[in-house]
């Protein structure tokens, strides 16, 4: 495993290898297996100016380090990245294109990634984007890297936009009578002007997080309650609230012997997916997140990739397996390939990063 410590060493590493697969914190095991280059020694926050709402960090910087540093200044990563406690890095999070439940409020990792310094397949160090919160110059190379799984090169430095953190959070758990009830309530809440941070659900409950000034938080909870009709409600505050969302963000609900798979959906597909999962439902735990825009599936390893793709074949879904042993962890819509392939000839002419 190569462990470069500087951008020059990344360039040397890229030039010396014929094929490169990059690993960050190794939390998405399906994506980082067979890695040949680790960003472990490219770690640290390089610039952080709280009053600019921006920071720049090296790719291997653990999210937990960034979270703690931002918290000292009352700021936070708005896109609520997963696997913080597990040791995920900022670079790996971008490459996998992952955002957590809290992305419902302000947007995902793509929406806050401003600038990137990276090394392309021919060893060239390039910079794309900017270091200020608003910039319309150049091609949006930062966004291209989101979800790219390292196919464009080695991300070395990243600049992000951050926001002030809410003073307090609270969670409203609403009991629902099955998948269609959960879907109906999710739609109602997503359309209401109540500015939710999280809007997750499974077939038993809809889980809603509000945040803001401490003095308004009770009123915010009552407001959400007023929208749920006569469904039973419980409220989580303080540590209980934190633990609930930490469990969601860290995927602690995924049982042993299961692989975690991300399936982006549109809210209208919630019931279809529920139906698809309902046959073997007892053994397929899943969780809808971001107002029904993604379903996270804990797929039994005993069933494997072939069975997953068979079950979901009719949906033609994009999917991304994050853990487990998958021959092809990523399956993406081929209808953008013509454009991507042309870009690839510039980023990675020798296809060192492909596959």
Partner 1 sequence: MSTDAFYTELRRIYSEDRLLTKNAQLVPYESDGLTSFRAKPSGVVLPQTQDEVIRTVKLCHKYEVPFTARGSGTSLSGGSVPVENGLVIALNRLNRILSYEPGQRIAVVEPGVINLKVSQRAAPDGLYYAPDPSSGPVCTIGGNVAFNSGGAHCLKYGMTSNHVLGMKVVLPDGELCTFGGSSLESTGPDLTGMFIGSEGLFGIALEITLRMLPKPERYYTLQAAYDSLEKAGNAVALVVASGMLPGAMEIMDRLSMDAANAQLGDCYPKDAKAVLIVELEGTNEEVEAEKPKLHAVIEESGAHLIDAAKNDAERSRIWTGRKSAFSAVGRLSPDFIVQDGVVPRTKLGEALAEIDRLADKFGMRVANVFHAGDGNLHPLVMFDGREEGALHKAEELAGEIIRLCIRLGGSITGEHGVGLEKRAYFGEMYGEADTDFMQRLRAAVDPLAIANRGKKLPSAEAPALTSRGAHPLEQRGIVSRM
253 binds partner 1 per the rule CB under 8 A = no
Selected binder of partner 1 within 44, 107, 238, 350 (CB under 8 A): 107
Among 330, 348, 352, 353, binds partner 1 (CB under 8 A): 330
Choose between 3 and 272: whose C-beta lies nearer to partner 1: 272
**Does 338 sit near partner 1 (CB under 8 A)?**
yes
Neighbours of 177 (CB within 10 A): 10
Positions 262 through 301 that interact with partner 1 (CB under 8 A): 262, 264-268, 290-291, 293-294
Told to check if 40 binds partner 1 by CB under 8 A, we report: no
Instruction: Kindly state whether residue 345 participates in binding partner 1, applying the rule CB under 8 A.
Output: yes
Distances (CA, A) of 233 to 43, 207, 329: 43, 10, 38
Longest dimension (CA), the chain: 65
313 is a contact residue toward partner 1 (CB under 8 A): no
Q: Judged by CB under 8 A, which of 216, 227, 233, 354 binds partner 1? A: 216
- Strand pairing class (233-237; 168-175): antiparallel
Q: Is 144 in the site for partner 1 (CB under 8 A)?
A: yes
Contacting residue, 2, 65, 227, 343, with partner 1 by CB under 8 A: 343
Chain centroid to CA 170? 22
- Return the residue of 133, 173, 233, 354 that touches partner 1, per CB under 8 A: 133
* CB nearer to partner 1: pick between 43 and 112: 112
> Which of 240, 279, 346, 350 contacts partner 1 by CB under 8 A?
346
Output 2 or 50, the one with its CB closest to partner 1: 50
| 56 beta partners | 47, 159
Cα separation, 118 vs 159, in Å, equals: 12
Alpha helices, H only, 72-178: 90-96, 103-106, 109-112, 141-145
Q: Count Cα atoms within 13 angstroms, Cβ side, for 53.
A: 12
The tally of CA atoms less than 13 A away on the side-chain side of residue 262 is: 25
Closest CA to 228 of 210, 247, 251: 210
- Stretch near partner 1 under the rule CB under 8 A, chosen from 64-72, 172-180, 211-219, 237-245: 211-219
**Applying CB under 8 A, which of residues 24, 91, 148, 300 lies at the interface with partner 1?**
148
């Amino acid at each position: 495993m190569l462990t470069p410590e500087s951008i020059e060493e990344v360039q040397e590493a890229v030039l010396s290898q014929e094929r490169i697969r990059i690993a960050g914190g190794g939390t998405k095991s399906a994506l980082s297996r067979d890695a040949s280059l680790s960003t472990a020694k490219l770690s640290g926050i390089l610039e952080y100016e709280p009053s600019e709402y921006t920071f720049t960090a090296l790719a291997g910087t653990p999210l937990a380090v960034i979270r703690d540093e931002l918290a000292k200044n009352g700021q936070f990563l708005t896109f609520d990245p997963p696997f913080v406690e597990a040791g995920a890095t900022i670079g790996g999070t971008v490459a996998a294109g992952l955002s957590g439940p809290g992305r419902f409020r302000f947007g995902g990792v793509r929406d806050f990634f401003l600038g990137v310094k990276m090394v392309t397949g021919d060893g060239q160090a390039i910079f794309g984007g900017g270091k200020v919160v608003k910039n319309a110059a150049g091609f949006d190379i930062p966004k291209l890297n989101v979800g790219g799984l390292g196919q464009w090169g080695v991300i070395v430095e990243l600049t992000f936009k951050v926001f002030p953190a809410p003073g307090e959070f609270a969670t409203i758990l609403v009991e629902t009578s099955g998948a269609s009830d959960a879907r109906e309530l999710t739609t109602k809440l997503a359309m209401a002007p109540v500015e939710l941070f999280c809007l997750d659900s499974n077939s038993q409950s809809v889980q809603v997080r509000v945040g803001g000034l401490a003095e308004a938080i009770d009123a915010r909870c009552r407001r959400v309650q007023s929208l749920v009709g006569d469904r039973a409600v419980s409220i989580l505050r303080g540590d209980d609230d934190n633990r609930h969302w930490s469990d969601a963000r860290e995927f602690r609900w995924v049982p042993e012997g299961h692989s975690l798979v991300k399936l982006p959906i549109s809210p209208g597909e919630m019931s279809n997916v529920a139906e698809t999962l309902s046959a073997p439902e007892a053994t397929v735990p899943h969780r809808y997140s971001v107002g029904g825009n993604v379903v996270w599936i804990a797929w039994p390893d005993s069933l494997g990739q072939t069975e997953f793709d068979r079950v979901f074949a009719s949906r033609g879904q994009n999917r991304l397996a994050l853990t487990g042993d998958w021959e092809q962890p990523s399956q993406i819509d081929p209808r953008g390939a013509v454009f991507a392939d042309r870009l690839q000839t510039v980023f990675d002419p020798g296809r060192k990063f492909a596959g």
